[in-house]
Amino acid sequence: MTQSFNTRSSMGRLTLNVLLSFAQFERELIGERVRDKIAASKRKGIWVGGPVPLGYAAVDKKIVVVAAEAAAVRTIFARYLELGSVRLLAQDLDRRGLRSKPRRLSNGRTIGGGRFGVGALAHLLKNRFYIGEVVYRGEVHLAEHEPILDSTLFEAVQAKLAAQARARRCRLRGSPALLSGRLFDDRGNRMSPTHANKGGARYRYYISQAVLQNKPRALGSLHRVPAAELEALVVAALHNHLNANGTGQQLPVSDRDLVERHVQRVTLAQSEIRLRLQEIVEDAPQDLGVHESANNSSRRPIASITTIAIPWTSPVPAAVRGIIHVPAHNTPIKPGRREALLIAIAKARQWMDDLAHGRVASFGMIAHREGKGERHIRLLAPLAFLSPRIVSTILDGTAPADLTLTTLIRVLPYSWAEQERRLGTSGSFLS
């Protein structure tokens, strides 16, 4: 501590480095001893500090049961078995007035004591501390404190949670919502897929979690958006970007695989959609000889993060700011029929674009990719050449109510003027 070293000389630098090495060794040794002591205490079931779960309190370095909070914990577990949903459980606890455990920090500030969130409830329902056990590095040990719950009730809740997790994974894979888990509003709120049924038709939406969790202060500029239109915009922009970068030949066969492979995050704002993309590229080898440079095995794939913006304007009335209304709800053509027409037109355009750029060689390959018959693909393919004015009327919802996919396929000439003349006879929607 008092001796000085001349670090200008080699001997002084050596002495300093030796002392620093021993200091680092001592630091690591202390850390190992502390971790070993914590592990030994955990194996004995001793509480070694940290946040105390709801239902317990720390008194003289011992964990004791708080009767009122313990009753609340039992209610939470029992209600979950009855409701079968963590989100419904959070709403039920809010109506009952049950709140999370308040904690007083060392600086005097108090945190907690608010409404339960879905994440906090999911963690609480999996906490083995309530059946008198402690978990350390994946190992479960019998604890010293008194359990609050019966092991039968706890295991029943774990079984239900596991079953729901499996069902949710299967539901997400089979869900038509391509952007599920990746879509956020401009305030960072996740937007979850939902739907509404009206007149026998199903309308798909993405709705902000701030709305579902009743958090008006956290609302972004958009609360609810139609799913089909948004997904079509994102997929089209993704195709255009990847084709422009020369990776169009390596695209997955389905839109879902395309989104899962390349899209990390979609942020929805009032005037644009921002896509955060992950592209897998090959890192070129450096400082290699001629023969080594030619070897493809010397390259390694790396992830490149790119952000692109899609300009758009949401049709939001000034009086109802933040909600996108689909115009077709109060227009002649039925919403379900309108959505079916738009999806068929978008698919036909994509198929013809794939054929034109050589991504597929025939209608048979498209039929195999889509899981349809080749005749079905050939029937829908002419929709790629539909008049832009007719497409605009379908988008606006002003097309005739009797306009169907069968009508378009049967009477569709290749002349735009003739298309507009024939379809205009059933109504003056092109005037």
CA distance 399 to 364: 32
Local structure of residue 22 (DSSP, 8 states): H
5 contact partners, CB below 8 Å, separation of at least 6: 12, 15, 16
**Strand duo 224-226 + 201-208: pairing:** antiparallel
Q: Which of 389, 364, 242 is nearest to 306 (CA)?
A: 242
Q: Cα 415 from chain centroid? A: 43
DSSP 158-177: HHHHHHHHHHHHHHHHH-S-
When the pLDDT of each residue in the chain is averaged and rounded to a whole number, the result is 79
| Distance (Å) of CA 110 to CA 52, 70, 106 | 14, 21, 9
Q: Which of 174, 194, 176, 187 is nearest to 235 (CA)?
A: 176
User: Are residues 47 and 141 in contact, defined by beta-carbon separation less than 8 angstroms?
Assistant: no
DSSP 108-120: S-EE--SPPPHHH
Which segments of 14-164 are extended strands (E)?
56-59, 62-65, 103-104, 110-111, 133-136, 139-142
Phi, psi of 142 (to 5 degrees): -70, 130
- The amino acid present at 83, given as its one-letter code, is L
pLDDT in tens, 18-62: 989 999 999 999 999 998 988 888 888 888 888 889 999 988 888
The tokens for 194 are 């939902």
Which segments of 221-373 are extended strands (E)?
224-226, 263-268, 272-283, 300-311
pLDDT in tens, 177-216: 888 888 898 888 888 888 877 766 777 888 888 887 777 7
Beta bridge partners of 142: 133
Phi, psi of 208 (to 5 degrees): -70, 140
CA angle 376, 379, 383 (to 5 degrees): 125
Q: Which of 253, 255, 232 is nearest to 368 (CA)?
A: 253
The tokens for 375 are 């005749």
Q: What is the mean pLDDT of residues 247-270?
A: 77
The tokens for 94 are 């809010």
User: Are residues 47 and 62 in contact, defined by beta-carbon separation less than 8 angstroms?
Assistant: yes
**Strand duo 272-283 + 263-268: pairing:** antiparallel
Beta bridge partners of 191: 208
CA distance 77 to 92: 12
CA angle 179, 185, 190 (to 5 degrees): 60
pLDDT at residue number 386? 84
Which of 20-29, 119-128, 134-143 is least confident? Answer: 134-143
CA distance 225 to 204: 9
The tokens for 425 are 């006879």
DSSP 348-368: HHHHHHHHHTTS-SSHHHHHH
Q: Is 231 helix (H, G, I), strand (E, B) or coil?
A: helix
User: Are residues 187 and 209 in contact, defined by beta-carbon separation less than 8 angstroms?
Assistant: no
The tokens for 156 are 């029943």
Which of 196-200, 258-262, 362-366 is least confident? Answer: 196-200
pLDDT at residue number 329? 38
Quick one: pLDDT band at residue 360, thresholds 50, 70, 90? confident
Quick one: pLDDT band at residue 281, thresholds 50, 70, 90? low
pLDDT in tens, 139-170: 888 888 889 999 899 999 999 898 888 777 66
Q: What is the mean pLDDT of residues 99-124?
A: 86
Phi, psi of 228 (to 5 degrees): -60, -45
